[in-house]
Amino acid sequence: MADRLEGVLVVLGAGVMGTAIAVTAAGHGRRVVLVDVDPAARDRARGRMDLHLRHAGLLGAFPDGVAPAAVEVVEEFDPADAVAVVEAVTERADLKAKVIAEVSAALPPGVPLISNTSSIPIDELADAALRPEDLVGTHFMNPAYLIRQVEVVRGPRTGDAAMAAVAALLADMGRHAVVVRDSPGFVTSRLLHPMINDAARIVEEGVAATDDVDALMQGCLGHRTGPLRTADLIGLDNLVDALLVLHERTGDDRARPCDLLLRKVRDGDLGRKSGRGFYDYEEALS
């Protein structure tokens, strides 16, 4: 990919993760097109990107001397312009497979198609791809513009050229790729999500309050933010979707979403993005 600096990174899905990935790339000077069919999602993404850029700037997350590139937020994109496409739609296998099928049929051969997923096996999604060798998995952590390591998933049918192209793209974005084998939940979600579910279950059972669970995990076990505050950052709906994937594909009963998580999702208390989850963020959104 000698011409990789000339191409446009296309990000499909203007939700929390898609927007954060777009900001990360733009902050390193990469031209980005952020695509979503929902006008309301596009409007929210524009406001969210402004907040992310200010936050990243205050924390010195972007390289000195590099002006952040503009992010074009659109309904459709031209596949001929893409150096790579990141699929960052909702964590549901059927939706991701539909998008992958449509996009892979339109992309030129050799353009990496990157599925950003926290739990769904890449080889499962590769069944929908016209060229499975071009499909690579990533799991960016939120906020993507602050967390420099990215879990990269090589599926059984992923080709060497796609892996090299994605590694070069991530390096250009200031990210460090950690490559893992394909599996439900990979490494991070396989470890983290059942632990968050256990923490929610402890609150549900009345053993301890939300902030006490997080305080103990931070102060005694060194968890940076606490599991329940982390859940709010992930998005409780995304967390439940990922837990369901893990439970269905591994049979691990620790991954069966507890009633408290399910109830919060039903009530629309999804975490930071909705203003309320395990904690209240209404003031931060106002």
Q: Is 139 a catalytic residue?
A: yes
What residues have CB less than 8 Å from 252, skipping those under 6 apart?
194, 246
Starting at the edge strand found earlier in the chain, the sheet holding 149-154 runs 71-74, 32-35, 8-12, 82-87, 113-116, 135-139, 149-154, 176-181
CA distances from 52 to 15, 20, 178, 209, 236 (A): 13, 7, 24, 30, 20
Residue 254 burial (CB count, 10 A): 15
Q: Where are the alpha helices (DSSP H) in 10-74?
A: 16-27, 39-58
Sign of CA pseudo-dihedral 145, 66, 135, 13: positive
Residue type, 223: H
SS3 148: coil
Cis peptide before 63 (omega within 30 of 0): no
Residue 57 burial (CB count, 10 A): 13
Residue 262, Cβ density class (10 Å: 0-12 exposed, 13-18 middle, ≥19 buried): middle
Nearest to 53 by CA among 126, 143, 133, 116: 143
- Among 28, 52, 139, 247, the one annotated catalytic: 139
Residue positions annotated with a catalytic role: 139
